Amino acid sequence: MKQGFAFNFMATGIGSVPFLDVDSTCHRILKIFPDMPFWPQFVKRSHLEDMCLQASQGLPLLEINHDKKSIHIHATGDQDRELTSFYEHFIAEDTDYFAVGHEYAAGLYKLLELIDKSPQRYGSLIKGQIVGPITLAGSVKDPAGKSALYNSEIMDTIVKGLAIKALWLVKKMSICNKRPVIFIDEPYLSGFGSAFTPVRREEVVIFIREIIDYLRSRSNALIGIHCCGNSDWSMIIETGVDIVSFDSFDYIDYFLLYRKEIVRFLEGCGTVAWGVAPTASFSGKETVSGLRIRLEKGLNRFCEWGVNRSTVAEGSIITPACGLGTVEPDNAERILELLSSLSIVMSELTL
């Protein structure tokens, strides 16, 4: 593989979880996803673990409203000073300045602590995530109520700030010679192309590619983009990402409309992360065999398009359709167990 890795249906998570106990959750993740554990975002435990708030440290002109659990662009007379300080730290590649604090990502620190104690028990990958620039900017408004997507100065700091923060994450995750896999989470791109989308296709590609290129030139991380709804998948592939992560339970037919782009992506050693286990639509009646049938629908279509079966297997990861933060804890546990079992079944078929 060009990426240097054959996944063969490894299972991992998207990010958020509904659990409250950091220690037991991280132990559980390491047990069921030993090959590619993910660090969980405890969004029910603290609003600071929301993906937008979690990424806000070190970014200029942004302020958290703890009562509303949101971020806004604050009015300040020190704007020039804040911007100057930001660019000085960015140019110096002062990654520690952009660190994610323990109170913002308890799962990150605990998972890495546990891996560091017994690194030989786990695989060579660790999966993490960071909010994407379009989603973060789309959630931030200035005092007049205008989105940061319309502010080119703020957009530049968001893109560069997320790039160097992602680099800090990658360095942090590179313990014991583990290889980081980092997903850029872009739920804002769901339904991209509607009349209400205030950003152009070419801008999306430029913003995300800047982050990808920054990471790729400074690390060996594998980089994915996760979007949990329908989107313009040709646009996402065009960013040059290594992994495309999507909700294959509810949106597989839309994804398969992009035949030409998908085939080129797979043959160029791209990887698809199949969000085969439903989250919002989880009923409790799902089974491993049922999820396998849904997964095989996409796999078989790739093979019908002429992609070698081994190439498809090497370039396949399985995940939940989206983060589990809004799912009931019992259902979230069941989803993780289903994915672990499905991973074992699918990997055995490729032997």
Query: pLDDT by residue (tens digit) across 36-86?
Result: 999 999 999 999 999 999 999 999 999 999 999 999 998 777 889 999 999
Alpha-carbon span 44 to 19, nearest angstrom:
7
pLDDT at 228 over 50: yes
- Identify whether the C-beta of residue 261 lies closer than 8 Å to the C-beta of residue 237: yes
Q: What are phi and psi of 33, to 5 degrees?
A: -125, 55
**In the chain, % of residues over pLDDT 90:** 91
pLDDT at 213 over 70: yes
- Residue ranges and CATH numbers for the domains of the chain are 10-349 (3.20.20.210)
Q: What is the pLDDT of residue 193?
A: 63
pLDDT at 117 over 80: yes
H helices present in 229-328, as ranges? 233-238, 252-255, 259-267, 288-304, 309-314
**Terminal Cα-to-Cα distance of the chain (whole angstroms):** 17
Q: What is the pLDDT of residue 2?
A: 45
DSSP 36: S
Question: Which is more confidently placed, 79 or 35?
Answer: 35
For residue range 171-211, what is the model confidence (pLDDT) as tens digits? 999 999 999 999 999 999 997 765 566 789 999 999 999 99
The pLDDT mean for the chain works out to 95
**In the chain, % of residues over pLDDT 70:** 97
Alpha-carbon span 234 to 264, nearest angstrom:
11
Unique residue bearing structure tokens 């032997």: 351
Unique residue bearing structure tokens 């290129």: 213
Question: Sorting pLDDT into bands at 50, 70 and 90, what band is 302?
Answer: very high
Range from 14-18, 149-153, 226-230 that averages highest in pLDDT: 14-18
Q: What is the dihedral of CA 58, 111, 7, 206, to 10 degrees?
A: -10
- Identify whether the C-beta of residue 130 lies closer than 8 Å to the C-beta of residue 170: no
Judged on CB neighbours under 10 Å (0-12, 13-18, 19+), 132 is buried
Q: What is the pLDDT of residue 194?
A: 57
For residue range 254-288, what is the model confidence (pLDDT) as tens digits? 999 999 999 999 999 999 999 999 999 999 999 99
CA distances, 116 to each of 13, 31, 126, 172, 286 (Å): 20, 15, 12, 12, 35
Which sign does the torsion angle of CA 30, 222, 226, 16 carry? positive
Alpha-carbon span 85 to 82, nearest angstrom:
5
Q: What is the rounded average pLDDT of the residues 312-339?
A: 97
With H, G, I as helix, E, B as strand and everything else as coil, classify residue 319: strand
Alpha-carbon span 63 to 133, nearest angstrom:
16
